[in-house]
A and B are shown apart, each in its own frame.
Chain A
Amino acid sequence: QKEVEQDPGPLSVPEGAIVSLNCTYSNSAFQYFMWYRQYSRKGPELLMYTYSSGNKEDGRFTAQVDKSSKYISLFIRDSQPSDSATYLCAIALPGGSNYKLTFGKGTLLTVNP
């Protein structure tokens, strides 16, 4: 079993839709949770970063962590064509090891105008 599982999609939605992206992980020791956005032929850029269960909101983006279920989600409200990209979840261990990120495979999202 891979440490992080992420549905690769692809996911295609109309503009304005609410998008839900999800990952599951296997090791309960993971404590840091991140979402990265990666445009084609670009490097990943950090969208959201959290280390606790619950919700974290930033504009149209909400990250949700459920440590009891080992499940993390990213919600995008009022999706825009510019949100079309690959979304990667990433997790890390506590205690100074959060540099060694474990990434999911990424979900390719297309928002159609």
Chain B
Amino acid sequence: GAGVSQSPRYKVAKRGQDVALRCDPISGHVSLFWYQQALGQGPEFLTYFQNEAQLDKSGLPSDRFFAERPEGSVSTLKIQRTQQEDSAVYLCASSLERESPLHFGNGTRLTVT
């Protein structure tokens, strides 16, 4: 595709619900990243994939957060038992290879009520 596509664009969840956020990277991009951006803050690193391998998940804030990229293309970020502090924009980015510039999607804005 022309760019990184994320869906849904907006998600409202009640506290305690599970959510799944989808990222379609640019075709052919090996590296995929998830970042979390709280209101008024810069993005913060969550996790990184190279193809289907999750090489770094040091930024995931708790074991309620889980990411996968089973076929090395589309990725899903899952948040279990959502809490109010999970409210943020979740950004996905991809790059041709690890050292290449990142291309970000427009994010999914998650609101937990």
Contacts and interface: CB of A to CB of B under 8 A. Distances in A.
B104 A44 contact: yes
Contacts, number: 57
B44 interface: yes
Given A99-B48, A104-B42, A41 B31 contact: no
A113 interface: no
Nearest to A34: B101
A79 B102 CA distance: 25
Nearest to B43: A103
B41 interface: yes
Instruction: State which size class the interface on A falls in.
Output: 20 to 34
A88 B42 contact: yes
Given A43-B4, A99-B31, A105 B102 contact: no
B42 A99 contact: no
B48 A105 contact: no
Interface in B89-110: 91, 93, 95, 98-99, 101-107, 109
Interface in A17-45: 34, 36, 41-45
A103 B107 contact: no
22 contacts: A4-B42, A34-B101, A36-B104, A43-B4, A43-B91, A43-B104, A43-B105, A44-B104, A46-B101, A46-B102, A46-B103, A49-B101, A96-B99, A98-B98, A98-B99, A99-B48, A99-B99, A100-B48, A101-B35, A101-B102, A103-B44, A106-B40
